[in-house]
Amino acid sequence: MPGLPDAGFLDERGLNRQHVFNLAALPADLLAPLAPTAHERQLILFGHAGRRLWECVQAEGLTSAHPIDEYSLRTVEHWLRRNLPETQARFVFPNTPGHQRIGLQRLGQLAGWHHPAPFMLGVDAKWGSWFAYRAAILTDTNLPASAIEDLGHPCPACTDKPCISACPGKALEGGRFDMAACHQHRLADQSPCALGCLARQACPVGAKHRYEDSQIQHSAAGSLAWIRAHART
């Protein structure tokens, strides 16, 4: 099954997961918030898995508030210029007003990447939870649609479920994620998971792909700032 043209360029720069969807094959409710225009036929989803992307971001010494987004946008733009210079492409994630309306986990599920972990992130049998969505563009291309890449769901066979017992906020008990309990615990003084989810780090799957501490702390600081800004007092 052919992948994206020059996929090695993206792989080398840490955007090592890519999936091409035909818009006509996507569920209407997933597509509607993206408001595709008549000439837009495909959605290309870019993700990273493992440590390479953060190495690249650090190597460039980016100091902006959102260095991963900035790097991902620039890398995809570079790839487009190299390989599809005539293509009309519109970023729908990140960096667009309302991008939070894009169903990234649903796209990940359709791509085969996403299986739900108790701590609300996606997980698979190879990368564990150490992957994420980095960019999505709508294009006027006619590239071959990607095959589903399903690396397996490790949770059903995980009998001990160490992620659940590692959560000091008891947010994963009872078979559902208690977001309020999680946020409350992260906001507490001296919270051990303010700058990194202990449940996520307790999962043994894909441990060799675990992000560097500096990446974990960078991402957690962003989500903690969001929780602080939106917390009701």
Number of Cβ within a 10 Å radius of residue 210: 18
Compare residues 27 and 204 and give the one whose CB is closer to ligand SF4: 204
Compare residues 108 and 169 and give the one whose CB is closer to ligand SF4: 169
The span from the CA of 198 to the CA of 163, in Å, is 8
Q: Tell me the site size for ligand SF4, rule CB under 6 A.
A: 22
Instruction: Choose one: 30-38, 45-53, 58-66, 164-172; the region binding ligand SF4 (CB under 6 A).
Output: 164-172
Among 169, 210, 211, 215, binds ligand SF4 (CB under 6 A): 169
Q: Is 117 in the site for ligand SF4 (CB under 6 A)?
A: yes
Among 158, 195, 217, 227, binds ligand SF4 (CB under 6 A): 158
- Dmax over CA atoms of the chain, in Å, equals 53
Least Å distance, CB 127 to ligand SF4, is 12
> Which long-range CB contacts under 8 A does 52-60 form with residues at least 24 apart?
52/12, 52/13, 52/14, 52/16, 53/13, 53/14, 53/15, 53/16, 53/134, 54/14, 54/211, 54/212, 54/214, 54/215, 55/14, 56/13, 56/14, 57/14, 58/214
Q: Is 94 in the site for ligand SF4 (CB under 6 A)?
A: no
Among 56, 137, 197, 216, binds ligand SF4 (CB under 6 A): 197
Q: Is 14 in the site for ligand SF4 (CB under 6 A)?
A: no
Q: Distances from the Cα of 161 to the Cαs of 128, 129, 217, 223, in angstroms?
A: 13, 14, 24, 24
Residues found near ligand SF4 in the complex (CB under 6 A): 117-119, 123, 154-155, 158, 161-163, 167, 169, 171, 182, 185-186, 193, 197-199, 203, 205
